[in-house]
């Protein structure tokens, strides 16, 4: 099929910031795109050829949208998989495939999948209802502290909570969940694997993630990770094992813990461009969004090497501010070398909401890290 | 003014491929854009917030469009300057300013400007009508070979012709023109200068251009130019002199000849992002489109250094093909390291039409040059 002709149509489910960045690449390649999102003000409304409003969890909306395109991809996992399955049966190319998406959508399934495929992961328990956790605590089969994760629909650190005492269980959503042992880890790492339709596979360098202690959101993503080569090699091998087991098409972002004993445990995966790969727009020979497009169109995969070191700072809404967003001191950070802000285009800020990111690139990683800190201390996402 | 708020509107006159690439940057910064172009199928129709159809040379169309925005810029020089002047008087920020645009729009004026400002340029003659050239030849005040240039509206090598004999004068447009001596030059060079509203100035590295012998279009742009440092320094100084004389805001691309005696002569300038700066998307810390946006919004200018060496290959329509475009072997070039195609989105190809470009980046310039040659020999822009 000639992807570069106007006969070809690519569909993207979800019109958020990831979709928006994907659209820079489809514009570059002049690929005809249709986007569906529930919000009429979605960031990807601009930049696609056609924009549709529809609920991503609604069978009819997803099915009818999918019938209009040749290849269908996602920028968010929470989509109606029954519709995707039917579309697949009817010849629409759905990437990632429904089978991969189903494993990933539900965190309990995802954990069981790791066990079945001999992929190292933190010990866990599965609960059909949140209330069952309390019983387990009372029967001493579950002890504090532990990590609670909603089985469905986690995003931006929502759906994850550290439970230190019985009080922390109050107010959790009632549905299916898992609990995980708290892993004393040295580092959180991530590897993005790209896999095209014919099965060619390539991995990006291992990146290191620093989390905001309260918001449970990534603060810095550092590429390459400052870890030794053996650990990096192990992380890549495990990411490839997950990729090979799950048989995705497109990107797979594999988040991992490096334990005190240099064990690697898989935390979770996402079958799409990922926050941990945003640095690649400025730092890599082939950025993650272009790579995802290459993979799902079964084009040759591009080089995943870096031109320079890259660090990403998430721009999240400052605490205490809700309303029309203002990017305070953005002009100040533009004075710094190798600094590129990406503003997602959400009109309203609220505490910890992801409003954008800033990439810092430099030949020298330590210099980049210094500038990243300066960026973090200078720019503030507030309300008018 | 808060450029990052939805109250601010940026207007772009022209919706071609340069405007399209400018829009990647306005999307990245989430700047609200309005674009006007004569064609309803202009490449920048997608990616802007609002698209208007209008003739760029029509006073009313330009004036009415300009009244809707806070800052107005261009992606092509051939626009109605009377309208721009009126807009300027009424408080719209027009960058480049009308005064700079007027000098540049007319090649005869441009040449006189160089003389007035002591900027080295090839000797020339000015003719109010093309027919006067014939008289000059007959009176032996003009001798073959020489270069003919239409005073107005040159683009893509149109409006320029080498005249070797009396027959070559046949069929030229009848209007105002200049003739230039043929300069025996070693290299064609270009330097892009960025200048923001408050007058901060920075220059990109000197690039070297190789032209297609027949089509008079750039075939390769090579960054950095393979010339010695003294010549590069001289080229930058002259580019800065032009920039300072013309008092533009935004980018100024200065094309120059390096003569056999290492003299630098200014050929012509463009007050906007330029083909000679396309390599910067992949190779530079701050690409030319982002830099133009920074300059016209009076933001701090970014670093113009390169992360890696960059070479650009123009994708022009192959001879003998007119009709619905096909990018033959595009998948083959995607297999090569550091290769990024940019497809402009024009549906129809014809011989030598600019249909896109391909950037090749590599740590090693000579390696990049080899891959560029491979790209050139592999991809072909044909019709279905």
How many angstroms separate the Cα of B323 from the Cα of each of A146, B43, B326, B348, B383? 64, 17, 9, 5, 5
Of the candidates A6, A24, A343, the beta carbon closest to that of B347 is on A6
Chain B residues closer than 8 Å to A286 by CB: 340
Strand partners of residue A360: A311, A339
One-letter-per-residue 3-state SS of chain A? CCCCCCCCCEEEECCCHHHHHHHHHHHHCCCCEEEEECCCCCHHHCCCCEEEECCCCCHHHHHHHHCCCCEEEECCCCCCHHHHHHHHHCCCEECCCHHHHHHHHCHHHHHHHHHHCCCCECCEEEECCCHHHHHHHHCCCCCCCEEEEECCCCECCECEEEECCHHHHCCCCCCCEEEEECCCEEEEEEEEEEECCCCCEEECCCEEEEECCCCCCEEEEEECCCCCHHHHHHHHHHHHHHHHHHCCCEEEEEEEEEECCCCEEEEEEECCCCHHHCCHHHHECCCHHHHHHHHHCCCCCCCCCECCEEEEEEEEECCCCCEEEEEECHHHHCCCCCEEEEECCCCEECCCCEEEEEEEEECCHHHHHHHHHHHHHHCEEEEC
Under 8 Å between Cβ of B318 and B380: yes
H helix or E strand, kind and range, residue B359: strand B354-362
Comparison of pLDDT for A218 and B58, the residue scoring more: B58
Contact with chain A for residue B198, Cβ under 8 A: no
Neighbouring C-beta atoms of residue B83, cutoff 10 Å: 25
What's the token pair of residue B164?
A: 């070797």
CA–CA separation, A40 and A27 (whole Å)? 21
Q: Do A331 and B6 touch (CB under 8 A)?
A: no
Q: Do A338 and B303 touch (CB under 8 A)?
A: yes
Instruction: With residue B367 as reference, give the H or E element that holds it.
Output: helix B365-378
pLDDT, residue B216, reads 63
More confident residue, A95 or B186: A95
Residues on chain A touching B356 (C-beta within 8 angstroms): 30
* CA atoms of A148 and A370, how far apart (whole Å): 34
User: Residues of B annotated in the binding site for ATP, as ranges?
Assistant: 107, 149, 180-183, 188, 267-268
Task: Give the integer Cα–Cα distance in Å for A283 and B306.
Answer: 12
**Interface test with chain A among B29, B328, B347, B348, by most A beta carbons within 10 Å:** B29
- For residues A349 and A364, what is the distance between their CA atoms, to the nearest angstrom? 33
Residue tagged 């001999």 (tokens): A118
Determine which of B1, B2, B4 to mutate to test the interface with A (most A C-beta atoms within 10 Å): B4
Q: Is B111 helix (H, G, I), strand (E, B) or coil?
A: helix
Q: Per residue of chain B (384 residues), what is the pLDDT tens digit?
A: 677 777 899 999 999 999 999 999 999 999 999 999 999 999 999 999 999 999 999 999 999 999 999 999 999 999 999 999 999 999 999 999 999 999 999 999 999 999 999 999 999 999 999 889 988 988 888 989 999 999 987 555 578 889 999 999 988 888 999 999 888 888 999 999 999 999 999 999 999 998 776 766 678 999 999 999 999 999 999 999 999 999 999 999 999 999 999 999 999 999 999 999 999 999 999 999 999 999 999 999 999 999 999 999 999 999 999 999 999 999 999 999 999 999 998 989 999 899 999 999 999 999 999 999 999 999 999 998
Distance of CA A285 to the CA centre of its chain: 20
Beta-carbon separation of B24 and A27 below 8 A: yes
Residue B154's pLDDT is what? 57
Find out whether A140 is annotated in a ligand binding site. Answer: no
User: In this complex, is the C-beta atom of A345 within 8 Å of any C-beta atom belonging to chain B?
Assistant: yes
End-to-end CA distance of chain A: 49
Query: What pLDDT band is residue A216 in, cutting at 50, 70 and 90?
Result: low
> CA of B21: which chain A residue's CA is closest?
A28
Asked if the Cβ–Cβ distance from A326 to B2 is below 8 Å, we say: yes
Flag whether pLDDT at A211 surpasses 90: no
> Which residues in chain B (93-112) have CB-CB distances under 8 A to chain A?
none
- Using the predicted structure, report yes or no on whether residue A5 has a pLDDT greater than 80: no
Q: Quick check: A326 and B300 CB within 8 A?
A: no
Binding residues of B: 107, 149, 180-183, 188, 267-268
User: A239 with A255: CB under 8 angstroms?
Assistant: no
Mean pLDDT of all residues belonging to chain A: 94
Q: Contact B47/A47, CB-based, under 8 Å?
A: yes
Q: What's the confidence (pLDDT) of residue B1? A: 63
Residues in chain B closer than 8 A to A4 (CB atoms): 326-327, 330, 343
Domains of chain B, earliest start first: 10-94 (3.40.50.20), 123-181 (3.30.1490.20), 185-383 (3.30.470.20)
What does residue A174 show for φ and ψ, rounded to 5 degrees? -75, -15
| Residue B106: C-alpha distances to residues A305, B38, B101, B147, B175 (Å) | 46, 21, 9, 16, 12
Span A94-112, mean pLDDT?
A: 95
B2–A300 C-beta distance less than 8 A = no
The lowest-confidence range among A169-173, A270-274, B278-282, B330-334 is A169-173
For chain B positions 291-320, those within 8 Å of chain A (CB to CB) are 294, 299-300, 302-303, 307-308
Long-range contacts of A49-52 (CB under 8 A, 24+ apart): A49/B46, A51/A15
User: What are B256's two structure tokens?
Assistant: 């120059």
Does A202 score more than 60 pLDDT?
yes
Neighbour count for residue B226 (Cβ, 10 Å): 11
Taking an 8 Å cut-off on Cβ atoms, the answer to whether B361 and A299 are in contact is: no
- Alpha carbons within 13 A on the beta-carbon side of B5: 13
Contact (CB<8Å) B343/A294:
no
- Identify which of B28, B30, B46 has the shortest CB distance to residue A27: B46
pLDDT confidence band for A294 (50 / 70 / 90) = very high
pLDDT in tens, B162-212: 999 999 998 888 899 999 988 888 899 999 999 999 999 999 999 999 877
Strand partners, B155: B158
How far away is chain A from the Cα of B102, in angstroms, using its nearest Cα? 31
Query: What is the DSSP-derived secondary structure letter of residue B166?
Result: G
Dist CA B322 CA B352 (whole Å): 10
Q: Report the DSSP pairing between strands B71-74 and A339-343.
A: unpaired
Measure in Å the smallest separation between the Cα of B30 and chain A Cα atoms: 5
Nearest to B342 among A28, A299, A330 (CB): A28
What is the token pair recorded at B40?
A: 């309803």
> What is the residue whose two structure tokens read 């810029």?
B73
The pLDDT of residue A218: 73
Shortest Cα distance from A355 to chain B (angstroms)?
A: 11
Facing residue for A343 by CB, picked from B4, B324, B335: B4
Lowest mean pLDDT among A25-29, A67-71, A207-211, A329-333: A207-211
> CB-based contact (8 Å) between B345 and chain A?
yes
Q: For the purposes of burial, counting CB atoms within 10 Å of the CB of B214, is it exposed (0-12), middle (13-18) or buried (19 or more)?
A: exposed
Cβ-defined contact of A47 to B49 (cutoff 8 Å) = no
Query: How far is the C-alpha of A62 from the C-alpha of A270, rounded, in Å?
Result: 20
Q: Which of A4, A343, A347 shows the shortest C-beta gap to B343?
A: A4
Q: What is the pLDDT of residues A113-122, one digit of tens each?
A: 999 999 999 9
Predicted pLDDT of residue B217 = 66
CB B232 within 8 A of CB B187: no
The answer on whether A182 is annotated among ligand-binding residues is: yes
- Provide the CB-side half-sphere exposure for A201 (13 A, CA): 19
Q: Do A363 and A308 meet the contact criterion of CB atoms below 8 Å apart?
A: yes
Could you tell me if A40 lies within 8 Å of chain B, comparing CB atoms? no
CA B117 distance to own-chain centroid: 22
Measured distance CA(A271)–CA(A259) in Å, rounded: 24
Rg of chain B's alpha carbons, rounded to an integer? 20
| CB A243, CB A271: distance < 8 Å | no
| Contact residues on chain B for A23, CB-CB shorter than 8 A | 27
By CA distance, what is A6's nearest residue in B?
B347
Distance CA B300, CA B296 (A): 10
- Three-state SS at B63: helix
CA closest to A325 among chain B residues: B5
| B367 Cβ contact partners less than 8 Å away, ≥ 6 residues apart | none
Say whether B338 and A299 touch across the interface (CB within 8 A): no
Q: Which residues contact A296 (CB under 8 A, 6 or more apart)?
A: A10, A71, A73, A93, A95, A196, A197, A249, A250
How big is the CA angle at A53 (ends A47 and A57), to the nearest 5 degrees? 115
pLDDT over 60 (residue A154)? no
- As beta bridge partners, residue B178 has B126, B149
């Amino acid at each position: 099929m000639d992807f570069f002709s106007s006969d070809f149509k690519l569909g993207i489910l979800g019109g958020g910031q990831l979709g928006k960045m994907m659209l820079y690449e489809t514009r570059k390649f002049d690929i005809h795109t249709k986007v569906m999102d529930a919000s009429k003000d979605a960031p990807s409304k601009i930049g696609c050829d056609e924009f549709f409003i529809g609920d991503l969890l609604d069978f009819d909306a997803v099915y009818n949208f999918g019938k209009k395109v040749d290849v269908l991809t996602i920028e968010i996992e929470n989509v109606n998989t029954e519709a995707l399955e039917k579309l697949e049966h009817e010849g629409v190319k759905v990437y990632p495939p429904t089978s991969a998406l189903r494993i990933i959508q539900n965190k309990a399934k995802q954990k069981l999948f790791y066990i079945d495929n001999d992929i190292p992961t933190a010990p866990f328990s599965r609960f059909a209802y949140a209330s069952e956790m309390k019983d387990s605590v009372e029967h001493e089969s579950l002890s504090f502290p532990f990590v609670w994760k909603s089985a469905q629909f986690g995003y931006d650190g929502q759906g994850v909570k550290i439970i230190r005492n019985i009080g922390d269980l109050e107010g959790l959503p009632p549905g299916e969940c898992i609990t995980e042992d708290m892993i004393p880890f040295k580092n959180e790492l991530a590897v993005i694997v790209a896999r095209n339709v014919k099965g060619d596979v390539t991995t990006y360098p291992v990146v290191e993630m620093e989390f905001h202690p309260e918001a449970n959101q990534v603060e810095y993503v550092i590429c390459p990770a400052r870890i030794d080569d053996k650990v990096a090699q192990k992380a890549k091998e495990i990411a490839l094992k997950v990729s090979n087991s799950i048989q995705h098409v497109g990107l797979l972002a594999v988040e991992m813990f490096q334990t005190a004993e240099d064990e690697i445990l898989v935390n979770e995966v996402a079958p799409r461009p990922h926050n941990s790969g945003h640095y690649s727009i400025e730092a890599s020979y082939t950025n993650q969004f272009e790579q995802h497009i290459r993979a799902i169109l079964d084009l040759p995969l591009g080089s995943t090497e870096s031109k320079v070191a890259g660090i990403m700072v998430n721009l999240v809404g400052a605490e205490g501010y809700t309303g029309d967003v203002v990017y305070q001191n953005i002009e100040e950070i533009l004075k710094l070398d190798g600094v590129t802000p990406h503003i997602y285009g959400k009109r309203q800020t609220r505490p910890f909401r992801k409003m954008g990111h800033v990439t810092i690139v430099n030949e020298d990683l330590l210099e980049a890290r210094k500038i990243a800190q300066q960026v973090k201390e200078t720019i503030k996402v507030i309300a008018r």
